[in-house]
Chain A
Amino acid sequence: MVTSKNLYFDKYQELTALFRAGLDGDAVSYNCFLQAVTPIMRRIACRKLSPTDAEDTLQEILISIHKARHTYDGKRPIMPWLLAIAQFRINDALRKAYAASSREMIDIHELAEVLSDVTETGSSSESVNVLLENIPEREQRILTMMHVEGYTAEETGLKLGMKASAVKVAAHRAVKKIREKF
């Protein structure tokens, strides 16, 4: 009878075998194991991080798997072990990203170049709308609230039901997109 447990072991048996052979000194098997693991880890990283960050984190994950290889003895399912390491490194990357974004300040003068004269004339208001029209609606709302209506990140977060750090990240991304376009 095929149970879900059997299926699990069948699915990752090859991966475990390659890793165990690698632990015993077979460099080719170990190389194959890392090659096989890479797309799985990439998929997991891409789910939580931007493509650039995901590639960097993927490298970190592979190095961590390599560094922690002695903690796996091949006697227990391999996927929980791999996923635990991947999750650890992804959390690290997220923590770094949030810390960096909370330290990073958006220079008001820099922003003024992008959103110049927002309140002066009707035509400049239209130009702001042009600037904002190619970014997602939520980011438009955040930029408008923070830089036109004068709300702080905390207040914007409260109004939109987001964390202040998430608001700052979204605002930074939006400005980046506008800068790239113009």
Chain B
Amino acid sequence: MSISDLITSLSQESPRPSLKPPGYFAARLGTVLAAYGIGIQFFLQLRTDLLVQFSRPMFTLEILLLILLTVFSATAALLVMYPDVYQKPRLLKAPYIVFVALGAFMLGQLLLPHDTRMVILPLDDGQAMECTICIASVALLPSALILALQLKGASIHPWRAGSFAILTATGIGCLTLRLSEANDSLLHLVVWHYIPTLFFAALGAFIGRLVLRW
């Protein structure tokens, strides 16, 4: 087919309504994810010493970083639906920066003196694998929702789109679990919460490449 024939046939197709701006999707997705997170938290229940833990700056900062990770990943997941990233390409770096900050923050805590308010279970006594499975289970539905939303767009970064979608969902999983599980062992958190999150994000990149074709 020649270029002029192609142009003629393309221009004869019926118009398609424009995709809403990212702000619209952010408001809707934010509401759904917040409701889902609250529902999951209700199901998992809050840890009994939550107020004591919030008096610990390190715990508060960790929760804040998890919230930031979820929010920035969701923002990036929405922006990446547009081929030009809605001309805000810098925001795509934010989830990576927050994740690196979270990793550095967790490792940095190893150097700090032990806080007596921390509940530390032995590594093999904690729920270990159950935590990873819980995060994955919580993340399943939001991942599917965000990927379905991304299918409406035309992402030119399918790898990143998939990883941002899963990172958002696992962010919710980590956050809800952190607020419910009474175990502050840094080793446990790194090995069973945050390293699996990294793996899930990598898996998301792979899924994104398979699913987000157009």
B55, CB-defined interface residue at 8 Å: no
B residues contacting the other copy or chain, number (CB 8 A): 27
Structural contact, A77 and B16, CB atoms closer than 8 A = no
Structural contact, B10 and A62, CB atoms closer than 8 A = yes
Q: Which of B6, B12, B87 contacts A63 (CB 8 A)?
A: B6
How far in angstroms is the closest Cβ of chain B from A178?
32
Structural contact, A88 and B156, CB atoms closer than 8 A = yes
A residues contacting the other copy or chain, number (CB 8 A): 35
Q: Which of B1, B12, B15 contacts A59 (CB 8 A)?
A: B1
B154 proximity list for chain A (CB < 8 A): 64, 67-68, 70-71, 85
B214 proximity list for chain A (CB < 8 A): 64, 67-68
A88 and B17 CA atoms in complex are apart in Å by: 23
Q: Which of B6, B16, B84, B156 contacts A70 (CB 8 A)?
A: B16
A67 and B214 CA atoms in complex are apart in Å by: 8
How far in angstroms is the closest Cβ of chain B from A182?
33
A159, CB-defined interface residue at 8 Å: no
How far in angstroms is the closest Cβ of chain B from A165?
21
Structural contact, A70 and B17, CB atoms closer than 8 A = yes
How far in angstroms is the closest Cβ of chain A from B96?
20
Structural contact, B10 and A63, CB atoms closer than 8 A = yes
B161, CB-defined interface residue at 8 Å: no
A62 and B2 CA atoms in complex are apart in Å by: 12
B164, CB-defined interface residue at 8 Å: no
**Given A23-B18, A67-B214, A70-B19: A34 and B11 within 8 A (CB)?**
yes
B81 proximity list for chain A (CB < 8 A): 71
B42 proximity list for chain A (CB < 8 A): none
A9, CB-defined interface residue at 8 Å: no
**Given A25-B15, A63-B10, A66-B13: A71 and B156 within 8 A (CB)?**
no
B84 proximity list for chain A (CB < 8 A): 76, 80-81, 84
How far in angstroms is the closest Cβ of chain B from A126?
46
Q: Which of B1-51 contact A (CB under 8 A)?
A: 1, 3, 6-8, 10-19, 21
A76 proximity list for chain B (CB < 8 A): 84, 86-87
Interface centre among A31, A75, A84 (most CB of B within 10 A): A84
How far in angstroms is the closest Cβ of chain A from B151?
12
Structural contact, B87 and A31, CB atoms closer than 8 A = no
A69 and B214 CA atoms in complex are apart in Å by: 12
Structural contact, A34 and B10, CB atoms closer than 8 A = yes
**Given A80-B84, A81-B84, A84-B84: A69 and B16 within 8 A (CB)?**
yes
B1 proximity list for chain A (CB < 8 A): 59
B21 proximity list for chain A (CB < 8 A): 73, 75
A73 and B19 CA atoms in complex are apart in Å by: 7
Residue of B nearest to A37 (CB): B7
How far in angstroms is the closest Cβ of chain A from B56?
44
B85 proximity list for chain A (CB < 8 A): 84
Bits for B136-154, please: 1 = Cβ < 8 Å to A, else 0: 0000000000000000011
**Can you list 19 A-B contacts (CB < 8 A)?**
A23-B16, A24-B15, A28-B11, A34-B7, A35-B7, A38-B7, A62-B10, A63-B6, A68-B154, A71-B81, A71-B82, A71-B154, A73-B21, A75-B21, A80-B84, A81-B82, A85-B154, A85-B156, A87-B156
What 18 additional pairs, Cβ within 8 angstroms, besides A38-B7, A68-B214, A84-B84? A22-B15, A28-B11, A30-B11, A31-B11, A34-B7, A35-B7, A62-B3, A63-B6, A64-B214, A70-B154, A71-B153, A73-B19, A73-B21, A77-B87, A81-B83, A81-B87, A84-B83, A87-B156
